[in-house]
């Protein structure tokens, strides 16, 4: 009886939980983030499983099936649920393959921005002084161009095409990553664990990438989700302007541009790709917002 009493009175030892688990729980409780996650999962799955999901070949033109309306409109039919475009291609299939193109573009552009931006930012923040000045001034200059204008100008020189669009958009994302990483590295640089790491003789790159970098991840992850959103928008804008993906690639922006000339006769050709872009971008924005709340309480709005 005595033992049971003492056992009951024993103070509960706080669990030794990794902060990451807390953050994950926070994220899970955040409705915005979960909603975003669902949309993103659907988007990624659609892109990955495009050949399985799409009922038709996305580039298969059929002259007899031009501008057929979606199934619920008069004249619509079950073989083309969302109708066909002016070359008789199935819009639903093109949208599904378009998810794949958007996913690819977003991965490539954010990858370029992330890798080069983080590298430059880490170098600037760690070595400070002259290198920092040169790198950050250059970043400021890139930021001096209004966002998509720089991408359009780069495209003017590189020539149109999906690959060049990825390069152009990737370049405009470098400064934002450089700024975030530089700020975090500057902050972490003063901490004891970095001094300790230096004292045991670690090489600079080891200190930067093994010791410091993992501690800068929170703002980077948030930025990455938001960058995915804007990368999809920017790629679609370039595609719409005829500078990005070239026909017959099923790209959402280019599909809107095609639908523009049939806007009165066939509203569906330009409407559905726009909704697809909106949903995908909304997913990443929702998730980014939720992530920010969960990972970085200081940034909460």
Partner 1 sequence: MLAHIIRRILLLIPTLLGISIIIFFMMHITPGDPAELLLGERATEKALEALREHLGLNEPLHVQYGMFLKRLLRGDLGETIWTRQKVWIEVKQRFPATIELSIAAMIISTFLGIILGIVSATRQYSVFDYLSMLGALVGVSMPIFWLGLVLMLIFSLNLGWFPMSGRLSVGIELDTITNFYLLDALLTKNWAALKDALWHIALPAFTLSTIPMAIVARMTRSSMLEVLRQDYIKTAKAKGLSPGIVVLKHALRNALIPVITVIGLMFGILMAGAILTETIFAWPGVGKWLYDAVLQRDYMVIQGGTLFVAAIFVMINLVVDILYAVINPKISVH
Q: In the complex with partner 1, which residue's Cβ is closer, 21 or 299?
A: 299
- 162 touches 250 (CB < 8 A): no
Quote the least distance from Cβ 227 to partner 1, whole Å: 13
Q: State the first-to-last Cα distance of the chain, in angstroms, to the nearest integer.
A: 53
Fill in the per-residue mask, 185 to 224: x = in contact with partner 1 (CB under 8 A), - = not in contact: ----------------------------------------
Q: In the complex with partner 1, which residue's Cβ is closer, 44 or 158?
A: 158
122: enclosing H helix or E strand: helix 91-127
Per CB under 8 A, 264 contacts partner 1: yes
> Using CB under 8 A, which of the segments 46-54, 55-63, 189-197, 255-263 binds partner 1?
255-263
Residue 245: name the closest of 100, 141, 148 by CA: 100
Q: Please report where in the chains the tokens 């928008």 appear, as a residue.
A: 233
Residue of the chain from 191, 198, 203, 260 that contacts partner 1 (CB under 8 A): 260
- 219 touches 277 (CB < 8 A): no
Query: In the structure encoding, which two tokens stand for residue 176, read together?
Result: 């934002």
> Using CB under 8 A, which of the segments 17-25, 56-64, 97-105, 271-279 binds partner 1?
271-279
- 196 touches 210 (CB < 8 A): no
- 103 touches 47 (CB < 8 A): yes
Backbone angles phi, psi at 160, to 5 degrees: -70, 160
Per CB under 8 A, 129 contacts partner 1: no
Residues that bind partner 1 (CB under 8 A): 137-138, 140-142, 144-149, 152-158, 229, 233, 236-237, 240-243, 253, 256, 260, 263-264, 267, 270-271, 273-274, 277-278, 281-282, 285-286, 289, 301
């Amino acid at each position: 009886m005595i033992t049971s009493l003492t056992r009951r009175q024993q103070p509960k030892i706080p669990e030794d939980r990794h902060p990451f688990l807390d953050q994950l729980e926070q994220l899970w409780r955040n409705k915005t983030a979960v909603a975003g996650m669902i949309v993103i999962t659907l988007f990624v799955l659609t892109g990955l499983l495009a050949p399985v999901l799409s009922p038709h070949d996305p580039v298969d033109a059929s002259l007899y099936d031009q501008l057929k309306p979606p199934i619920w409109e008069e004249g619509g039919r079950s073989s083309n649920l969302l109708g066909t475009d002016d070359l008789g291609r199935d819009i639903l299939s093109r949208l599904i393959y378009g998810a794949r193109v958007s996913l690819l573009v977003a991965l490539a552009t954010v990858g370029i921005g992330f890798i080069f931006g983080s590298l430059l930012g880490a170098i600037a923040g760690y070595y400070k002084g002259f290198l920092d000045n040169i790198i950050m001034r250059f970043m400021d200059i890139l930021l001096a161009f209004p966002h998509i204008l720089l991408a359009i100008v780069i495209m003017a020189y590189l020539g149109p095409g999906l690959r060049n669009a990825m390069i152009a958009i990737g370049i405009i994302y470098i400064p934002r990553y450089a700024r975030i990483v530089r700020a975090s590295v500057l902050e972490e640089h003063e901490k004891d664990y970095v001094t300790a790491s230096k004292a045991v003789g670690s090489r600079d790159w080891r200190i930067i990438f093994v010791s410091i970098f993992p501690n800068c991840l929170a703002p980077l992850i948030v930025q990455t989700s938001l960058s995915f959103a804007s990368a999809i928008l920017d790629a679609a804008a370039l595609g719409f302007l005829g500078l990005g993906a070239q026909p017959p690639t099923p790209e959402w922006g280019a599909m809107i541009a095609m639908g523009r000339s049939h806007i009165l006769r066939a509203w569906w050709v330009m409407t559905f790709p726009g909704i697809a872009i909106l949903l995908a971008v909304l997913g990443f924005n929702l998730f980014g917002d939720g992530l920010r709340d969960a990972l970085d309480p200081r940034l909460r709005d």
